Structure formats: C-alpha cells, structure tokens
Structure 1
Amino acid sequence: MTALSTPLVPRTRRSPRNGRKWIFTIAVGLVALLVNVPLLNALLVSFKPTGEIAKNPLSLPTAPTFDHYANVLYASGYNFPQFFLNSTLIALGTVALVLLIAVPSTYAIIRLGFGGRWIINSASGLRLLPAIFFVVPFFVLFSAAGLQDTILGLIVANTFLNLPLAIILLASGLRDIPNEIEEAAAMDGASVYRTLLGIVLPMLAPTMVAVSVLVFIFTWNDYLFALVLSTSNSTPVTLGAANFVTSTGIRWGDISAASFLSTLPPLAFAVFAQRYLVSGLSAGAVKG
C-alpha cells in the first residue's frame, strides 16, 4: 500500500503593510493621548475635593465629588449659563456672518476675476498676523462706535479675524468645481445669483461645513478679544472661568469644571461634522 501524501498548505505571510499600519495606529493613538492630557487632567481635577487637588493633581480622585460643577452652575455671583449663552451667540453669529461675506466674495474672486490673486495672497498674509496686533485698534473703534462689551462687537471682531481663513478654504473648494457646469447653466439662461445659489453652494457644502466648524471652534476658544472688548454683558465662557481666580486663591476645581463644560459644544460640533470637515479641508489638495 502506498502512503497517501498530505497536500502541502502554503504558509500565510504577514503583509509588511499590516505591520506598518499597526505601528502607525499606535503612534497616532499615543499622540492623541498626549494632546488630550490637559483635557483629561481637567476632567480628573473637576471631580476631586480641594484637598486632593493640592496633594497630587494627576492622581485619580479617591472620593469623587460634584461640588465644583455645582459651584459653576449655581454659585451666586457666577452666571455660567449666561456665559455659555454668550459664547453660543458669538460663535454662531460669527459663523453666519463669515459665510455670508466669504461665499460671495470668494466666488467673485475665483469665478468672476474680481481683484485678482493679490486678494487671496493678502488674506493669507492677514491671517498670519497675531491677533494682538488688532486689539488696540478694535478697542478704540468699538469704544467710539458703542460696540464695546456687546455681543455684536465680538461677532464683528471674530469675523474679521476668521474671514481670511474662510476665503482661503472656500477658494480651494471652489477651484475643484468644474467650470463647465456653470457654463452650461449660463447657456440655459441662469443668472450669476441663480448659479451660485442653485449649483455652486450645494457642491461647495463640504467646504462650507469645514469652514463653519473651524470658525466656530476658533471663535469659541477666543480669549484675547473677549478680555479686551467685554466686561460684563458679553462675557463668554473662556473669560468667565477666570472669575474663579480670586484674591483668596485660585479655585482649581471650579476652573477645571468650567473649562471641561466649555469644551463640550465645540467637541460635539467637530465630531458631528467630522466627515464634512475632512473632505472640506482636503479640497484642492489633489489634482488630476
């Protein structure tokens, strides 16, 4: 009898791409953890009693407490809900005003040839200037115009600061839209306004969402303009957290609770629009 030969089973080899993928994933995870250490630390401190914060701010809370959140939300003399509402109105108002100005302006520059490339270059250069460069002129102008310590004043200031970024991103997204589509609409009798509203805007939606997310986050996190241009009526959450720095000491637990609560809206906004944010920011990056 002849012995039956067993078939040889080929060994599976691990693809070197899978190894590189795991290394890349671990590296990105470590970087993400390192970047979020301040946020995690603020979360831990916000649940610690005051005595534990002084001993070791990086340790886990042994007796978690919600006293700091209660102080933020209900303490007398500290109106966190009003600060939160002010930040929401300022951020949303800035997003609306930036899009209202940037979309038609960018369309006129890119499609209608208004002004030429020097406007885009000027916007890029203007965005590179530090915000503190504009603080004193804004303070003088807003004081004379009666916009000091108003929601509208902070909306205008943040619009001026974020408008160049919006124009740059919208210009990249607009260049990805083929001219033939608009030319076909013009041959069918569509006006410039109808082409912009009915054809260009729907195709430009991912970039507009990306611009909205970035403008919202930058405006929500603004501290410098809020510090100089507001005193009481338009105080946002970024400036309101500083009220826990008193003459008797720094209330780190209350500051951490206020800071953590203030990060939730931009974080939720960015997560919700993440798909549009990635596609909007990558507009104009690949040609061919």
Structure 2
Amino acid sequence: MAIAISATMVFIAPILWMVTTAFKTGNQAFSADVQWFFIPTLDNFARVLTGSNFSFALVNSLQVSIFSSFIAIVLASGIAYPLARFDIRGKAGIAGTILSFRIIPPIVTIIPLFLVMRTIGLNGTLASIIILHVFMNLPLAVWLLRGFFEDVPKEIEEAAHIDGLGHVQTFVRIVVPLAMPGIAATALLCFVFSWNEFLFASILSSAGSQTVTVALTQYVTPVGTQWTQIMAAGTLVAIPVWIAALSAQKYLVRGLTFGAVK
C-alpha cells in the first residue's frame, strides 16, 4: 500500500504544483518559505485568456482534436472490421504493417509532409494539422478496434444475416453498439494524443492556427519564463482532458477490459 501511495504521489505532485502555482502571485510562487496556505488569485488566468492568443489556441485545439479523432475512428472502423471478420489473405501482415507506421518517428516525416502541405496550399491551416493527426492516430486506432471487433461474438452477426441484414447494416446496427465501449476508449486515446501533439502543430501552424501546445511556448522568452502564467495556461490545457476522461470513465474502463473475460 505504501508503495502504491508513493507512486501515486510521484505522478500527482507535479500536477498539484502546477495548479497551486497557477493561483499564486509571482512573489508567492518564488518565496523561499513554503506557503501551504495563501490567498488565491485569478490574475494569471485573466492574463492568459485576455492578454494573448491562448483562448484562440484552445478553440483551435478543440477543433483539431475532435475532428481528427472522429475521422480517425470512422476510417479505422472501416479498416479494422474487415480485418477482424473477413478471410483476407495476409491480414495479419497487413495489420502489422499498419501498426508499424505508428512507430516511425514523426521527425523523420515532418519535412516531406511540410513540403506536401505547402504544395497543395494547406500549410499554416487547421486542415493540415487535422489531416496529419488523423494519420497519426489511424494505425493505433485500427489495431485497437480490430481487437474489439474480434471480441464481438460471430453468432450474433450470423443471426443478423439470417434476419436479412447485409454486412454494412450488421456492422452499423449490431457490431458498433456492442463494441461501443471499445470505440469510446479508442476515441478518447485519439483525442488525448491529438490534444498533446506538438511537433506537427509547431511546424505546420501559423499565428492564426496555433494549438495550445504551441501557444504555451510564448511564455518562455529570451528575457525569462513567465512561470505563473505558464502554470495557469497548463491548467487550462489539462481541463478538457480531465473532463473528457471523467465523462468517458465508464466507457474507458469497459473498453480497455472489453473481451478480457469470456
């Protein structure tokens, strides 16, 4: 129990430090004396939301994460279901090849992708970031959804076929509802990966299409780091992920354990 508590504190302590520092003044944050009790201030949040483009970056990140996750799930479902159900020659190799794309370091592909986006006129737009985030999340989504679809009993689908449903109708009306916990868990992971992604967003975004991970860098200047404001911004960045995780907690637990018990 002591080890579990210690391990939990190791992960929670930085988050608590970030949140508490966000509500402190500069003098309180860097005081030599540890201040367990202090009068909180919202000045840091006000400066972050009104004194910079951070609020626009929040909206951009929400758009990128939601749209890229939705598109990735739709495309991954169309790829994963045939791999899970149909007798496709070499499908194990196909699935392994798809997953291997997720292992390629993003830094290796960033220059070719930048040139492609510039050629087609999408460089500096949210569309370019959404497209790259879709392909970034697609391999892992295919791999996870394939396992979830395989855990749906074939007998249920066969009964649906006997009742006159085609493959598409069976997938939409039978398989998707049964695999919804796994789909929700995969969608949440895609959302988090897209929300936290920095490299593609930093290279392909412009001043008007920055995401929150890129916007955070504006608080680190040659003069110094605005610690209280960057902590307030970091707290705001974490809130949507916390809300999404808590809202989908039931689906997340069921999805990650889907098919574990037969």
Q: TM-score range by the shorter chain?
A: over 0.9
Aligned equivalents of 1:236, 1:150: Cα separation in 2: 11
Structure 1: runs of 5+ lacking an equivalent = 1-22
Structure 1 stretch displaced more, 41-50 or 211-220: 41-50
State how many pairs are aligned.
261
Larger RCO, structure (CA 8 Å, separation 6 or more): 2
Match of 1:255 in 2: 230
Kindly indicate whether residue 82 of structure 2 is the aligned counterpart of residue 103 of structure 1: no
- 1:36 match: secondary structure: helix
Aligned-pair CA distance for 1:283: 2.5
Kindly indicate whether residue 249 of structure 2 is the aligned counterpart of residue 269 of structure 1: no
Structure 2: runs of 5+ lacking an equivalent = none
Is residue 41–residue 58 contact of structure 1 (8 Å, CA) maintained in 2? no
In structure 2, give the amino acid aligned to 1:229.
L
Kindly indicate whether residue 157 of structure 2 is the aligned counterpart of residue 191 of structure 1: no
Residue of structure 2 aligned with 1:64, choices 30, 40, 43: 40
Q: CA RMSD in A?
A: 1.8
Aligned equivalents of 1:58, 1:245: Cα separation in 2: 25
User: In the TM superposition, what whole-angstrom CA distance separates every residue of 1:176-214 from its partner, at most 9, and x where no partner exists?
Assistant: 111111112112221111111111110110011001110
TM-score normalised according to structure 1 size: 0.85
TM-score normalised according to structure 2 size: 0.93
Change (3 A) 1:119 1:31: same
In structure 1, give the amino acid aligned to 2:44.
H
Structure with the greater alpha carbon radius of gyration: 1
- 2:208 match: secondary structure: coil
Match of 1:50 in 2: 26
- 2:30 match: secondary structure: helix
Aligned-pair CA distance for 1:134: 2.3
Kindly indicate whether residue 123 of structure 2 is the aligned counterpart of residue 140 of structure 1: no
In structure 2, give the amino acid aligned to 1:72.
V
Match of 2:5 in 1: 29
Residue of structure 2 aligned with 1:278, choices 246, 253, 256: 253
Aligned-pair CA distance for 1:161: 0.9
Residue of structure 2 aligned with 1:174, choices 131, 141, 149: 149
Aligned equivalents of 1:55, 1:139: Cα separation in 2: 45
